[in-house]
Amino acid sequence: MAGPIVTGNTTSTTEESSGGFLDMLGGLGSYLMQPDVLLPGVVGGLLTGEAYGRLSDIGRQARTGAEELAATQLEQTQFRPFTVTTATGAGMGTRVTPEGGIETTMGLSPEEVALQQQLMGGAGGFFGQAVQPREDREQAIFERMRRAQRPEEERQRLALEERLAGQGRLGVSSAAYGGATPEMLAMATAQEEARNRAMLGAMQQAQAEQMQQAQLGQAFLGAGYVPQQQLMAATQPAQQLAALQQQAQLQGAGLFGEATMSGLEAQLVAEQARANLLGQTGAGLLSGALTPRSTGNSSLISALGSIFGQGGS
């Protein structure tokens, strides 16, 4: 099997490496202690550390700047309350509540309020009538129609009575004609038909009136909201202006942010460039200090190379 063979090889390798590393650290130390290595190396290291520190500061400054920018833009984009007053005296106002919400208030002029109350009251009245049972109204219409019909019926009755009296038939009662004369039966039938028509007409009229009441209520209700609708309509231009203002405000805040961010970015780039320059300088110094020379510091270079350029070799 391959397992035992690999394990044995590994153990053997670890033991060899452990002994080499300690040897290498010993050699590195002695190498670094050399003057031509130590000074450039320290300077280079300091410069590199400075560059590293500057880069960290640049990040903090950028964050702080961004936060300040956000706070500024938040303030710049804050809703600005406005009010609208119509020509008829109605008005709409907005305000930001302490909780940050936006509260809108509307108010009508006294005349509009009175009109609205009148219309609303009328609507209530019409709706109230529309939901009433129709029977009473049917009866009332029927009675009214009958009142209109009765005089003519009475005239016809009197005429028939006179005619029958003239014919000496006022007292005729025939079973074949419901206990009356043919003429009286015909008149009674006609009057009953008229009564029936009046009754049906009254029912239809009551229904139509009910529908009309509902429609009138609807119309009054709609009309009652007209002042409010007109106020709302009157606020549209103001809302548009407010929106434009908000848009400009947002745009200005954006521009402000962009400009501020551009400055920050430019500062970051510059600081980054400075840091890079300082880092490159330090790196150069370190590179110079750690570069092997013919005098024999190859072991240091090798050692630094193994430390910093591991893998790069």
Interface with another protein (CB under 8 A): 165-177, 179, 181-182
Closest separation between CB of residue 187 and another protein, Å? 14
CA distance 280 to 47: 8
Stretch (H or E) spanning 117: helix 110-130
C-beta closer to another protein: residue 146 or 157: 157
Residue (78 or 173) nearer to another protein, CB? 173
- For the bound state, the minimum distance from the C-beta of residue 193 to another protein, rounded and expressed in Å, comes to 21
* Closest residue by Cα to residue 126 from 218, 226, 225: 218
Structural contact between residues 37 and 303, judged by C-beta atoms closer than 8 angstroms: no
**With contact defined as beta carbons under 8 Å apart, do 300 and 290 qualify?**
yes
Shortest distance in whole angstroms from residue 130 CB to another protein: 51
- Of 87 and 176, which CB lies nearer to another protein in the complex structure? 176
Within 10 angstroms of residue 220's Cβ, the number of other Cβ atoms is 19
Q: Answer whether 40's CB lies under 8 Å from 288's CB.
A: yes
Q: How far is the CB of 183 from another protein (least distance, A)?
A: 8
Nearer of residues 100 and 168 to another protein, judged by Cβ:
168
The least CB distance from residue 157 to another protein, in Å, is 16
Question: Alpha-carbon dihedral of residues 150, 155, 160, 162, nearest 10 degrees?
Answer: 140
Q: What per-residue string of b and e applies to 23-48 under the rule 16 or more CB within 10 Å gives b?
A: eeeeebeebbeeeebeebbebbeebb
- Indicate the residue among 179 and 296 with the shorter CB distance to another protein: 179
CB of 163 to another protein, least distance (A): 10
Specify the residue, 117 or 174, whose C-beta has the smaller distance to another protein. 174
